[in-house]
Amino acid sequence: MRAITIQQPWPWAVLNGHLDYLMEPFAPKARGYFLIHAGLGWNWELESWLMENIDQPIPPGLPQGRIVAYAKLIGMRAKPEHGPMAHGRMIFRITDITEIPHVVMVGRRGLWPVPRQLQPQIVIPAHVRLKLLSYPGDET
């Protein structure tokens, strides 16, 4: 199973319906479900954009350094023309964004394999677990 680390407030924004995409500098070949890991960093540029474009304050104390959700990658597009941080990254179109009980975990850039010993702690429906992105060599 694979996860992607993104900085807050991006996980909060997708979980609350303010955004239905992620922006990353890479393009995975596979489509399907993946886990969302809220990284320890904070994306100030996105926070500023959200404060200007949504009518809801960003709550304090958002979870960081943990798996917080799963989503389904349904497509990609290069070079965004507008929106937060529109400077040539890949847009990951996502759907079925669902919060799960949080699991503390160290993340990293890119789509990374979740360590085998931590996978039992991740509570997700069986039909999603079977469809989580994985690649040959992942510890699944």
Other residues' Cβ atoms within 10 Å of the Cβ of residue 114: 24
CB 1 within 8 A of CB 138: yes
pTM: 0.87
Condensed to tens digits (0 to 9), the pLDDT of residues 22-55 reads: 887 777 777 889 999 999 999 998 899 899 999 8
DSSP string covering 4-63:
EEEEETHHHHHHTTS-SEEEES---S--EEEEEEEEEEE-HHHHHHHHHH-SSPPPSS--
Tokens of 71: 């989503």
CATH 2.30.130.30 fits 2-129, yes or no: yes
Q: What's the order of all strands across the beta sheet hosting 2-8? A: 21-24, 90-104, 66-77, 32-42, 2-8, 111-113
If 0-12 CB within 10 Å is exposed, 13-18 middle and 19+ buried, where does residue 115 land? exposed
Of residues 94 and 90, the one with the higher pLDDT is 94
Confidence label for 130 from pLDDT (cuts 50, 70 and 90): confident
Domain boundaries, the chain: 2-129
Confidence label for 129 from pLDDT (cuts 50, 70 and 90): confident
